[in-house]
A and B are shown apart, each in its own frame.
Chain A
Amino acid sequence: MIIPRPAFTRTPIGLSIFVLGPLAVAFMAMQYTMNESSSPGVLFWLMVVAAWLLAWYGVDLLANKTFKSRSTTRAVSLLIPVLFGVWLLILWQLVTTGFKVPSVLLPSPANIGIRFASSLPTLWADFQQTFLKAVLFGYIAGCGSAFIVAIAIDRSPFLQRGLMPVGNFVSALPIVGVAPIMVMWFGFDWQSKAAVVIIMTFFPMLVNTIAGLSDNSSIQRDLMNTYAASYWQTLFKMRLPQAMPFIFNALKINSTLALIGAIVAEFFGTPTVGMGFRISTEVGRMNVDMVWAEIAVAALAGSAFYGAIALIERKVTFWHSSMRPERH
C-alpha cells in the first residue's frame, strides 16, 4: 500500500499536527462521553475513527522519517510504541464509555485506574505475599540450585547427555500442575508457592547452563590448555563468562515463569492474601475492575523484574554480539 507523504508532513509542525491533533480530538471525545449519559451517535463514531486513522498516519510518518541525531532516533523509537499504547487505551476508554459496556464485562481504563489508586494497601499486601515472598525466594532457590547442579554434573558427560533430553522434555511439561500437590505438602502459605516456582524455574536454568558451559570452541579450550589452566580456572575465566548469555536467557524466561507459577498456585488455595487469590475471588464477586488492577500490578511487576535482569545482562555480557548496537 502506498501512502502519500506530502512535503509539509516532513516539517516538525506538519508532523506534530498529525501526531498531536488526533490526540486532542480524542481527549475531547472522552470528555464528551464522560458527561453524556446517552450513547453518542454515528457522527461521533465516524469522528473517532477519522481521528484514529489520522493518528495512524501520524505514526506512519514518524516511523518512516529518519532523524539526524542519534538521541532523537532513539526517542522516536520509544515514542512510537508509547503512542500505540496510548491510542489503545483511548479507544478502549471510548468504546467502553461510548457503548455503555457493563463494567462486569470490560471496565474502562479510567475505572481501573480509580480502583487501582483507591486499593493501594490491598494491592501492596498481595504484591508482598506473592512477589516478595513466593516469587523471589522460589526464583533464587530454583535458579541457584539448578546452577549448582549444572556445575556439579559438568564433569560427567554421561550425566549431561542423560539430563539434557530429560530436562528439555520436562521444560515442555505443564509443570504448574504440581501446584495442588505442593499446596498439600507445604500448606497454604507462600512456602508451597515458592516450591512450585522452584520446580518451574529449575529445568530451564539447568538445561541452559549445561548448554552454555559447552558453548566454547576447541581453540578457546586449547588456549586455556596452553596456559596450563586448571579445571576451575578454565571454568571461571573462560567457560562461565562464555555461558552467561545462555544463563541470562534462562533467567529471563524464568522471571515470567516464576510469576505465573506463584499466581496459578494460589488458585489452589491460599491464606486470604496474594495476587492469585485476589484475582480468583474478585472474579467470583464480579469485581472485574479489581481484577484488572491486580493484573496491572502483575504486569508491572513482571516487566520490572524482566527489565532488571535484562539490565544486569547488558552489564555482564556487554561483549556479546546481541548487545552491540545494530549496524544498518
Chain B
Amino acid sequence: MMTRAWLSNKFGPVVVVVMAIIVVWYGATILLNSPFQKDIYKRGNISNWTTTQLIADTMQQKRPVMPAPHQVMHEIYKTTVLKKITSKRSLIHHSWITLSSTLLGFAMGSGFGILLAIGIVHSRTLDKSLMPWIISSQTIPILAVAPMIIVVLNAVGIQGLLPKAFISMYLSFFPITVGMVKGFRSPRVLHLDLMRTYSASRWQVFWKLRWPAALPYLFASMKIAIAIALVGAIVGELPTGAVAGLGARLLAGSYYGQTIQIWSALVMAAALAGCLVAIVGLAKTMVDKRMGNTSVGANS
C-alpha cells in the first residue's frame, strides 16, 4: 500500500539510511584509496595534483583497496549484460551455479527437516533422544565441515552440484526442524481435544490441525533456512579451487587482488539473498491469503 504513513514511517527512513551508507562508502573510498594514489603521484613525479583530481583518481584505480559503488555497479553491468550468459566470465553464469545448488540444498533440507519434525512430534523416543542433539548441533560451526564434505565426496566420485547442495541442506534443515517442531506443537490443547472428540486419527489430526497451524512457522524458518543455504553454497565453492560460482569468484578475486571482482560477487550474492528471502515472504503472503489470512498459532 503506497500510503502516506508507509512513506514516512518505512520508506523514508530506509531510503535515508541507504543513502547514508552510500555516502559513507564513497567517503571510505576516498580515504582508503588516497594513500596509494599519492604514492602513484610521487612515483610519477606529479607534484601539482589538486584535491579534486585526487578524489577523482581514487575512484578510477584498477585494483583499489576500496572500490567505489559505481565501479562495482559498472563491473556488474559489464559481467551480466555485456557478457554472454554461457561465457565463463559472466556473473549470471556463476550466480546460476550458486543459485542452483542453493535451491537444491534448500529443497532437500526443507523436506528432510519437515520429515524429522514430524517424527519428533509423533515419537517420544525420537523427541527425547534427537531433539537435544539438534539444538546443540546449532552451536557447532558446521561450515567448518564444508571443505571436508566437498573433498571426500569428490574422492568417491560425486562432483558438481550435489556436494554443495549437501552442505546447503545440512545447514538449512536445522532451522526448519526446530521451527516445525514448534509449529506442529502450536495447536492449543482445546483444538487437540476437539479433534479427539471427533475421534480423528493421528493422520487426520496432522493434516487438518497440525500442518495448517505450523505453516506460519514453516515460512519463518524457511526465510532463515534459505539465507543460510546460500551461505553454505558459497562456502562450499571455496575448497574446489575456484572453478565456478560466486564463492569461486570471491576466492579467485582474493588470489589475484581483483577487489572489484570480489565486491561485485558480494553485491550479487547480497541481491540473490534479498530476492530469495523476498520470494519466501511472497509465498507466505500468498498462502496466508489462501488460508483466509489466519495465522493460527503464530500469535498464541
Contact = CB atoms under 8 A, between A and B. Distances in A.
Interface of A: 56, 59-60, 62-64, 77, 80-81, 83-85, 104-106, 158-163, 165-166, 169, 172-174, 176-181, 183-185, 255-256, 259-260, 263-264, 267-269, 275-276, 279-280, 283-284, 286, 288, 291-292, 294-295, 298-299, 302-303, 305-307
A63 B125 contact: yes
B147 A279 contact: yes
Interface stretch (B76-84, B190-198, B233-241): B233-241
Contact of A105 (B141, B152, B251): B152
Contacts of A64: 124-125
Contacts, number: 171
Interface in B78-131: 124-125, 127-131
Given A260-B144, A267-B147, A267-B238, A104 B155 contact: yes
A184 B50 CA distance: 28
B231 A174 contact: yes
B9 interface: yes
22 contacts: A59-B128, A80-B129, A81-B129, A81-B133, A84-B129, A158-B13, A160-B13, A161-B9, A161-B13, A162-B16, A165-B10, A169-B274, A172-B223, A174-B230, A174-B270, A180-B250, A181-B259, A256-B139, A264-B143, A279-B147, A280-B147, A288-B152
B141 A181 contact: no
B210 to A, nearest CB: 18
B155 A105 contact: yes
B54 interface: no
B178 interface: no
Q: Which of B14, B125, B132, B227 has the most CB of A within 10 A?
A: B125
Give the interface SS of chain B, mostly helix, strand, loop or mixed: helix
A81 B273 contact: no
Contacts of B239: 267, 280, 283
B214 interface: no
Interface in B129-149: 129-133, 136, 138-145, 147-148
Given A105-B152, A177-B247, 7 more contacts: A165-B14, A174-B269, A176-B235, A264-B144, A279-B147, A286-B155, A305-B139
B17 interface: yes
B65 interface: yes
Interface stretch (B34-42, B260-268, B282-290, B291-299): B260-268
A104 B131 CA distance: 30
B251 A181 contact: no
A303 B129 contact: no
Contact of A59 (B9, B12, B125, B263): B125
Contacts of A161: 9-10, 13-14
B193 to A, nearest CB: 15
B155 to A, nearest CB: 6
Contacts of B132: 81
B139 A83 contact: no
Interface in B204-250: 223-224, 227, 230-231, 234-235, 238-239, 246-247, 250
Contacts of B234: 174, 176-177
Kindly list the 10 A-B residue pairs having the minimum CB-CB distance in the complex, ordered from nearest: A162-B13, A180-B254, A162-B17, A84-B129, A306-B139, A81-B132, A161-B13, A172-B227, A259-B141, A299-B140
Q: Which of B12, B148, B227 has the most CB of A within 10 A?
A: B148
Nearest to A267: B238
A293 to B, nearest CB: 12
A302 B13 contact: no
B17 A56 contact: no
A166 B15 CA distance: 10
Contacts of B262: 177, 180-181
A51 to B, nearest CB: 16
B279 to A, nearest CB: 12
A305 B140 CA distance: 10
A279 B235 CA distance: 14
A216 B10 CA distance: 21
Nearest to A167: B17
B274 A260 contact: no
Contacts of A85: 133
B124 A302 contact: no
Contacts of A184: 65, 254, 257, 259
B270 A173 contact: yes
